[in-house]
């Protein structure tokens, strides 16, 4: 749920504090990182 007023108005990516905001996944509109390890393509 987006609670940040900047994220509601223009989105997290356009916020001047985006690069150092610790709450962009909590109160902003940035999706949380996927759990687990990243998908690795099968070796040939």
pLDDT of res. 37:
64
Write down the pLDDT at residue 28: 86
**CA torsion through residues 15, 27, 32, 21, sign:** positive
Q: What is the pLDDT of residue 42?
A: 72
Question: How do the domains of the chain map onto residue ranges?
Answer: 1-30
Per-residue pLDDT in tens (0 to 9) along the chain, 44 residues: 788 999 889 998 999 999 998 888 888 888 887 766 666 777 76
Kindly report the pTM of this predicted structure.
Answer: 0.61
Backbone angles phi, psi at 38, to 5 degrees: -65, 150
């Amino acid at each position: 749920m987006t609670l940040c007023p900047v994220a509601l108005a223009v989105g997290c990516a356009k916020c001047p504090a985006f690069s150092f905001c610790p709450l962009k996944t909590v109160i902003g509109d940035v999706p949380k990182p996927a759990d687990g390890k990243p998908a690795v393509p099968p070796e040939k």
